[in-house]
Amino acid sequence: MKFFKLLLIVIICYNFFQCTENHEDLDVKNQQRTLVRFKKTLNIPRYSTHELIIKYNSGVTKAQKQALRNLYGVVYYQICDLCDDESIEKWDFGNNVNIEDKKLSIQGGSGGPEGDITNVDYEFTFRLEGENDLGVLGTYGSGYTSQIVGANNGVTIAVLDTGIDANYPLFATPFLYNSSGVAVSGELSGWDFVNHDDNCFDDYNLIHGTKVTYILNKKLNEEGIPHQILPVKVCNEYGVATYFNILCGLKYALPRANIVQMSLGWYGSDSDVNSIFSSLIEEYQRRVLIVTSAGNNKSNNDSIVHYPSSYPQRNILAIAASNMENDNIADFSNYGSLSVDFYAPGEGIEFFDIYGDTVSISGTSYSAPWVSALSAKILYDSGMTYNPYQIIEKLTIIGVNESYSKPVKYNKLLN
């Protein structure tokens, strides 16, 4: 009998401490479960098992680069198109390699014998998030030279996306960036980093980049802001992008643009911050504003991190979508009091198909270009003198205070 009493006491004590431990870890475990459920419903990144992205220190010679490739067993390497600075490469190690061990060996060796490599990132692919709209086909005409402006004037906005169908009937006047004088390898206006040519035609069936550009261009025309849009195609015909193409597209856009518009993103965690992407943003913190979509999965980006919108640099804006009445956040929109900045209209946006019929499109993808257009107006009205911080400060002043059901950093609607 004493034995059973003792056993009962032990069981009670064990359960007490076990429950206490579970209670303490409840938030962490709930976040982990949420992430698992979340991953089942998202087009989360798919990481390569045989590729890494590396960034060299400045001044590394071609001979030193080749010595490093030989040292680490690189089978094939790729550099970014049209980049004067060839500091970023994608390394392919072939099959039967442990990519985690390979990454650790490069980092553990301080980037080679001379410390010539500053950053190493995993390569991955991701898809554009599911949108709350209908497929709207474009005209599928490849010619676009008639839509290139005669001379660049005013604000330059780079759109990193699926490309642009420049012949879409909604584009009434020339609006594309003129690469004359800076052309490389036949570059006319922008670049297709998927197919490695100068034709940035949008062949994605939802013409995502075309719709983003239409909203941006329409608002700028309504406000009478001189501008040109630099098309940077980083997503293929299925809406799939690679991290390397995003890096190359960003590296190409940053020296040419005042504002970079990115209505795309991938999910991860705080430990997944991609150092090379982050370093490019750091380099242009005071020169280029980057406007991003917050995502369309009703989630808190403070917990389930969404990139590039959740990068901490001050020149990045993350935009949530307000609903059709602009009296609350749209039910699909991501949010976050730390990682998302503003609301903007993103539900029931009017668009037209090639037959002239009105369709309704929704998503934070379409909230972001409103803010890019407004930021371009602020920049132009400043005499092209404002830096990204000053543009953001002005946005906080003109934004309308809102107490929506889900918070963002400034709790203001930009409309």
CATH of the domain at 121: 3.30.70.80
- Mean pLDDT is lowest, of 8-12, 156-160, 336-340, 357-361, for 8-12
Number of structural domains (the chain) is 2
Tell me what pLDDT residue 186 has.
Answer: 72
Give mean pLDDT, residues 89-115: 83
pLDDT over 80 at 81, yes or no: yes
Rounded CA gap, 138 and 28, in Å?
Answer: 46
At residue 141, the pLDDT reads: 56
The predicted pLDDT at position 35 comes to 44
| pLDDT attached to residue 271 | 64
Strand order, beta sheet including 412-413:
191-192, 227-233, 155-161, 259-262, 289-293, 316-322, 342-345, 412-413, 400-401
Task: Report the CATH number that the domain containing residue 256 is assigned in CATH.
Answer: 3.40.50.200
> Can you read off the two tokens belonging to residue 328?
């609350």
* Contact criterion met (CB below 8 Å) for 379 and 392: no
Instruction: List the beta strands (DSSP E) in 164-322.
Output: 191-192, 227-233, 240-242, 259-262, 266-268, 289-293, 305-307, 316-322
Average pLDDT (103-108) is 85
70: left (phi over 0), alpha (psi -120 to 50) or beta: alpha
* pLDDT at residue 415, as a whole number: 85
Query: 23 lies in a domain?
Result: no
Residues 99 and 150 in one domain: no
Q: Is residue 7 part of a domain?
A: no
Task: Note down the domain range covering 216.
Answer: 145-413
Is 24 inside a domain boundary?
no
Q: Quick count: other Cβ atoms within 10 Å of Cβ 230?
A: 26
- Domain identity same for 156 and 123: no
Angle of helix 368-381 versus helix 388-398 axis, rounded to 10: 110
Q: Are residues 159 and 118 in the same domain?
A: no
**pLDDT mean across residues, the chain:** 85
- Span 333-343, average pLDDT: 97
Specify whether the CB–CB gap between 372 and 365 falls below 8 A.
no
